[in-house]
Structure 1
């Protein structure tokens, strides 16, 4: 082989080597970039998850206990030697070093909290807290709104990066404080609706129940004693203070007491049939959800023009849901009047029971779980409701007064 041929082979080999190296370098770089992207994505997900965990306790409001839990989770995320959460007047919790600076932070709260940085004086050479930033928390996100508290972050020296991180953390905490406020509004609305239902328990019904009990005192004292116990149990359940939810078993027991008192008054004019599947008795549903439906049957039945009222209550298992039906052979009503009742525009004389129950069911389970009412003039009324057998976050509590 000639020298020229040998040189050509060497050059060709070098070219292939360089090309292979370039391709290999490109593949390695792409692999490194992909790995870096994956690491970045994991770091971002971890950071978001940690921030959510840190802020979550404030969904219950800003208290020393919730502040302590939030600060304990938030400080490692920010990488600061100390962190504090305050209300509008005092330090609720201090996490980390430098607790002896608490009074200096409290002094800053003498005026409405505003974003500021400040130096801290300290005689302890080992103290890592020499500088801090106070970052207000807002309950509604509105500018100019009174701040319910503040986040304070600390460092050995001034840090713009820590201020920015603290501002983002304060915004995340403020979101959960706002949600806590909304939860409180919803809870107060639910309490108001239950109070309205309790107020609707007719004084007329209570008077008639006591009158019926009194009528048995001389003729049948044992019957009077039983009715008085039913009356006491019914009122104890209806006016209990604890819990927005109850079980179907407890609600049906209250209805049986209500109907027993009604039987004492109406006698044979009232006929009641119950068909209850045992497997749905533990199902949770809103408190005082069924009693207004039964009361509606009696009010527009026996207290109307029907000589003999038949009320049927059925509770069945339908897979993921429990189906409850309250049906009567009363006077019924026109569909337009029913729509006005459900809208709450039919006037105070109609009561608020049906619209209240329908609204609460929709709020808790969604619009597809409202009351389904079939009625017509002279055709009686059939009311159907369906509730999920299991729903996260919904739990019945034992009755208390």
Structure 2
């Protein structure tokens, strides 16, 4: 029992003892039981309400985090309404500049941070023009206009914060400009200055430089994250284009040969195969974005396998085990089909008796994941061959290994770009027994 709780218990026990002594011993005749209990309840209530106990928490007591005593730091508030660092941090969590240095993002950011910095006006610029201006002076510091103030060019050129204590130092060409002091901090992505954060006041005391510097650092961090997102998406786009271009030309030639041979013996089946081949390439080329419903990818895989079954006949058998809940989830495009194609090419094609490909998909609503398994009972692979496939496309590999493994390598890189470390991609193979690929991704 904690000290505060034990002390309170002792006080309450003493209070009840006192009530009993007064109502039952000192008073003659003694009060009845109901009166004694009522008096005890009243005294206990007064004690609890007047005692800063563990039942309601001591006033201004420090809290505990992770076993360490922690007390919120009290920062002096600027008389002009500057808020404390916790509020600035909270604003930073939803900073619009996370989407890049655009006019709309700059405007919403300026409106959000203006109350936090104690300035009368806040502006955000890139290296050439004003992207946002909130407060006095907006009539001539127009959005879309060029940089009018001298201090902006100084901050951009030197890459450091500039503080101006007099109106003349601002360098605004408008004679009636109400702005008298300014703090201008550069916004940077790495070592590259991409803009400025300006905080103006209409009186002779400038805004606190440390707050402006801290806010500029926070905005720069968000701009760096936005740049990383853009580069990651560009890389993912390039890998998706590579997968589209990688569709095996031998597959196309083999299917066309199959269609040509069937055109003489079964024209109707030949026509159906041509329609499926058209559907296959239409989906592969025209699919927009990086995600699609599983049902669409499932149709794409079934179309591919139906074409391969027309070529391999009874040597290629397929089993589907799909949870209906998976059909509406969203999965990365062109991920399942290359896994199935590898199973056909490296597992079944070289097996004299052929084999079975098994596609299984499940949703785990508790773990919020989608699990996909592609397995075959074909010839399997040695660890050396599997390593070459997983390293496909890397320098120094034979051309055959590069071509056959680029699918798996590309898939792994795309999953990294799309999910970071929030996915698993496992490949296991045993010579003579087959190969299994397990993919687990976040539920979307």
TM-score above 0.5: yes
Residue of structure 1 equivalent to 2:424? 370
Indicate the residue corresponding to 2:381 in structure 1.
333
Deviation at 1:113, TM superposition (A): 4.1
Deviation at 1:241, TM superposition (A): 5.4
Distance of aligned partners of 1:298 and 1:88 in 2 relative to their CA distance in 1, 3 Å threshold: same
Inter-CA distance 348–31: structure 2 relative to 1 (3 Å threshold): closer
1:216-235 superposed matches below 5 A: 216-217=262-263, 220-235=266-281
Give the aligned partner of residue 132 of structure 2. 93
The offset of 1:160, in angstroms, is 4.4
Size of the alignment, in residue pairs? 353
Alignment of 1:353-368 (within 5 A): 353-361=407-415, 364-365=418-419
For residues 159-198 of structure 1, what are the alpha-carbon distances to aligned partners after superposition, in whole Å with 9 as ceiling and x for unaligned?
Answer: 3443332222111100101111111222122222222222
TM-score normalised by L of structure 2: 0.70
Q: Deviations over 1:38-89 (max 9, x none)?
A: 6948944223212443xx2112111111111111111122132211111111
Name the counterpart of 2:186: 136
Task: Say yes or no: does 1:281 pair with 2:319.
Answer: no
The SS at the match of 1:97 is coil
* 8 A contact 2:391–2:405 mirrored in 1: no
Q: Distance in 2 between matches of 1:272 and 1:131?
A: 75
Quote the RMSD (CA, aligned, Å): 3.2
CA distance in 2, matches of 1:46, 1:225: 67
Under a length normalisation based on structure 1, what TM-score does the superposition of the two structures give?
Answer: 0.77
- Is this contact kept in 2: 1:51–1:77, CA < 8 A? no
Query: C-alpha deviations, 1:74-121, integer Å up to 9, x for none?
Result: 112213221111111111121122121346734646674443343245
Give the alignment partner of residue 298 of structure 1, picking from 326, 333, 344.
Answer: 344
Tell me the distance in 2 between the aligned counterparts of 1:65 and 1:220: 61
Runs of 5+ unmatched residues, structure 2: 1-57, 64-70, 76-82
Tell me the SS of whatever aligns to 2:193.
coil
Contact 1:113 1:149 in 2 (8 A): no
Residue in 2 that maps onto 1:201? 247
Q: C-alpha distance in 2, partners of 1:104/1:369? A: 46
Q: Which residue of 1 aligns with 2:306?
A: 260
Aligned to 1:323: 371
3-state secondary structure, aligned to 1:373:
strand
Q: Offset at 1:33?
A: 9.1
Q: Check conservation: 1:271, 1:311, Cα contact below 8 A.
A: yes
Counterpart Cα distance in 1 of 2:257 and 2:388:
34
CA 1:362–1:131 in 2, change beyond 3 Å: closer, same or farther?
A: closer
Question: What's the counterpart of residue 24 of structure 1?
Answer: none
The 3 A distance-change label for structure 1 pair 380 and 166 is: same
Deviates further, 205-214 or 376-385:
205-214
Q: Retained in 2: the 8 A contact 1:331–1:379?
A: yes
CA change 1:366–1:88 in 2 (3 A) is closer
**Closer, same or farther in 2 for the Cα pair 1:381/1:33, shift >3 Å?**
closer
Cα distance, 1:175–1:317 mapped onto 2, change above 3 Å: closer
Partner residue of 2:228?
182
Does 1:244 find its partner at 2:283? Answer: no
Q: Does the Cα contact within 8 Å between 1:331 and 1:378 map onto a contact in 2?
A: yes
Task: Give the equivalent residue in structure 2 for 1:352.
Answer: 406
Structure 1 spans left out of the alignment, 5+ residues: 1-29, 396-401
Counterpart Cα distance in 2 of 1:217 and 1:340: 39
Partner SS, residue 187 of structure 1: helix
Shift of 1:317: 4.1
CA distance in structure 2 between the aligned counterparts of 1:230 and 1:180, rounded to whole angstroms: 41
Q: Distance in 1 between matches of 2:290 and 2:220?
A: 27
Alpha carbons 2:379, 2:431 under 8 Å: kept? yes
C-alpha deviation, 1:359, in angstroms: 4.3
Going from structure 1 to structure 2, the CA distance change for 1:263 and 1:89 (only over 3 Å counts) comes to same
Identify which range, 223-232 or 185-194, moves more after superposition.
Answer: 223-232
Which secondary structure does the structure 2 equivalent of 1:177 belong to?
Answer: helix
1:136 counterpart SS class: strand
